[in-house]
Structures are given as C-alpha cells and as structure tokens.
Amino acid sequence: MTDSRATLGADLHLDLSAGRGLRAGLTEALREAARSGRLAAGTRLPSSRSLAADLGIARNTVAEAYAELVAEGWLTARQGSGTRVAERARPRRTAAAAVRAGRPGVRRPPAYSLMAGTPDLGAFPRGAWLSAARRALTDAPNEAFGYAADARGRIELREALAGYLARARGVYADPDRIVLCSGFVHALTLLAGVLRARRVREVAVEGYSLDVHRELLTRTGLRTVPLAVDGAGARTTELGGEAGAVLLTPAHQFPTGVALTPARRAAAVDWARTTGGLILEDDYDGEFRYDRQPVGALQGLDPERVVYLGTVSKSLAPGLRMGWMVVPAGLLDEVLAAKGRIDWTSSALDQLTLAEFIRSGAYDRHVRGMRVRYRRRRDELVAAVAGRVAVSGIAAGLHAVLDLPGGSQDAVLRAAAWHDLGLETLSRYAHPDAEPAPPREALVVGYGTPSASAWSPALAALLASLP
C-alpha cells in the first residue's frame, strides 16, 4: 500500500489516486487542477524537491511529471521563474456550468464603459501613495499596530482632514467631530441606525438618486420619500414635517448634474432648524468644478443640523474604502455608539498614509491634475455631441447628462450594446414613488470612468450610438 502522505499535497491538495502509479497519478492530478482552473494560469508550483518532500515521493517522480506537463503545454518552466501553470490552461465556462452556478446567460462586461460613478482608476497616484505609505509606516507609533482605542479613527487623519475640509470645502470640521468610516455606504448605514433609534420613520431623498442608498435606508426600516428635482436642484421648499432627515447632493446633484441654488440651500437649513430634522450632505465630488471655483459645502451654513459625508472614492479610488462624517455635537455620541467602541473598519496604516498624503500636499496636487483631465474630457464630450444632443447640468464632476430626442432612447441603447459600450439612462435612477411625469429620455455618461487609452474609443462608440 502507498504511504498515506502520497495522497495529498498540503499546499496543492493533490489526490494521486486517479492514475496508475505515483508518477501517473501526480501527472493526472496536476493536469486536472490546471484544466479545471483550480490552479490558475500563472500560479507558481513548488520546486520538484519541495513537492517531493511534501508528498513523500521521489524527486525524480515529480521532475518527470513536471516535464511531461511542460511538453503537453499545461506548464511552463523557465530559468529563474520556476515552474508555472501555462496561460493557455484556462477553463472554459460552459453555458451548463453557468446555469449550475445560478447565473444563466452570464456575459462578459462591455469592452468600453461610460457608466457613471467611478473615476479613472488607471490614474491612481501609485508612486506618490507609496511614498506617503513609506513615510507613514516609518513614523507610525507602536500603538497604531494594536486595536484602535478611539472609534472615531486615527487622530492624525482627523486633524489632516479638518484642515483640508475647512480650506477646500468650507466645512466646519473639528477633529473631535470627525468619524472615519469605510466609505459612504458604511457612514449611511450608521446614520440610518441612529435615525431609527431616534424613532425617525421617514427620510426625504432626491427624486433621482442611487437606488443602493434608498434600499439601504429601506432595509433599516426607514421610508424614503422623493423630492422632485429640477434645474435648481431638489425642491427643498417642499420638505414637510413628516421627514426626520433629508439626503442631498447639493454641490452636484447625482445624477442630473445640477447644483442646489442658494435659496434652496437656505430652505433646507430653515426646515432642519424648524423641525429638528437632519440634513445628510453627500459631497461625493465637490472638488471637481470646472466653470468656476467649487461651491462650498452646505454644512457651513449650520454645522449643528448638517452631517457632512465625504470619501476618496471619486478623488482617488473606491477600493481604498475610506470615508468620513463630520457630525453635529448633539449626534456624536449616538454615532460612536452605533460604530462601536473599537474602529474595526479601516486599516490604521491606510489612515496614516492618507493623513501623510494630505499633509504633504500630494492630495491637492493629484486633485488639481485630475480636475484638468476631467475638464478636458468633458469639453471633448460636449464638442463631440454638439448639434446632435443637448448636454445638461453644470460643468463639474465625472459625469454629464445627455438629453436625447423623444423616442430614441431604446435605439441608442441597442446601438451602444452593438458597439460593446456600457451606458446607463437617467430613468435608471428615478425613485419608484416619484410623481408620474413625461419620461425624460437621457443618458448619464461617466466620462471619468475610462482609462486614458480607453477614453477615445469609448467616445467614438458613444458617437456611433447616438441618433
């Protein structure tokens, strides 16, 4: 009987019982692992000596199995690179496999995407971020590697943010009232729980808004009521006493692209003061205004009635999972209780890196550079569609709204699919309870999404899809 150690590789989980003899069994086990995709293309295999020791078999047996699979094309062997699973050894996902996985009709993503909500990920400042990370790691106090004692997050980042937000966004931001979180959704989840605990039952939202935010509030037990949106932003003059809070994107309404006018900003603050309600300000891309200086945050009008929410998801990258709330004094204890005594959500080293990135001026330099890039793309988009469709909304952010001729929207979407272009319509963001109105046929075009190399072909695909 074969030694039981020869039936399982501790690292590769190889069952050698399928073949006739150890070498055949090992060869077939490795071949099947590469064929099925369990060992992904490019995976480096252990040396023949290491695998032989692990399996309890002769080194020559492993070397012969490797050589056979190299000859068949399942593996590659290069000096200095070791033995790896070949790139060609990728599994083909059949329709039957997709059905078994519960995803019939799974298709690959489009070749080009103008979907809104994502920055140019290829422009992430890797070198500057790495430099900041090195400095942050070098200077990090020992206690930064332990459990976080303050649920608000690292004081270094809260102090850096307080200075930046006051200077760049006009936010009243005492470091003690900044609570760090792992993005906007995390912040909204915490606030929804606090509102529910306060016996709030209704939250007003913009009539065009992100469904994931509305659904989050609904899952918490809060009812969302739509505020109509027009060229002056959300109609805050229609806020009633039923709502205990309102979620707004004042600087650049998402997705319609308009700015909340001064009169409607004042109306929102008056409503909050009169009713005791809260304004949740989503300042998702406030740094990116191209036709003038960015409008300051609504929070500056009344820091005790507005919860200011920001992230680096548009300015840097959503994968960093870093955001913050600037919380009214009367709400802080409840938010911290909801978050918990220890900050489990954000890496202390990432927080220290972002703090250093801001303090060093690298964040300002990056934002200025991306402002130039996105403005150029918006200008190119506007010039390219001139005379064919109208562009609405202010010159800001990472997306624009293209109003289509009546009755053409479905044809545009079919053409975009044919050109392998991902697009979304404005109607996709409409609140289901919004008052019936003539449908507005429009596209929400995320010109910030493509990489530098993909922007021109994505724009060409859009132009080929328009009427």
pLDDT in tens, 261-283: 999 999 999 999 999 999 999 99
Residue 166 pLDDT > 90, yes or no? yes
CA angle 242, 247, 250 (to 5 degrees): 125
> What local confidence, expressed as pLDDT, does residue 1 receive?
38
As its CATH architecture, domain 113-120+364-465 has Alpha-Beta Complex (3.90)
Question: Among residues of the chain, what percentage have pLDDT more than 70?
Answer: 92
Domain positions in the chain: 4-85, 113-120+364-465, 124-360
CA angle 225, 226, 230 (to 5 degrees): 160
> What confidence tier does 17 reach under pLDDT thresholds 50, 70, 90?
low
Reduce the DSSP state of residue 156 to 3 states and report it.
helix
CATH number at 124-360: 3.40.640.10
> What local confidence, expressed as pLDDT, does residue 419 receive?
94
Residue 51 has φ and ψ, to the nearest 5°, of -70, -35
pTM surpassing 0.85?
Answer: no
- What H or E segment, with its residue span, contains residue 411? helix 409-418
Residue 341 pLDDT > 70, yes or no? yes
The sign of the torsion formed by the CA atoms of 211, 213, 214, 217 equals: positive
Distance separating alpha carbons of residues 88 and 71, to the nearest angstrom: 13
**Which is higher by pLDDT, 185 or 439?**
185
> What confidence tier does 107 reach under pLDDT thresholds 50, 70, 90?
low
Mean pLDDT to the nearest integer, 29-53: 86
CATH number at 4-85: 1.10.10.10
CA angle 234, 237, 242 (to 5 degrees): 95
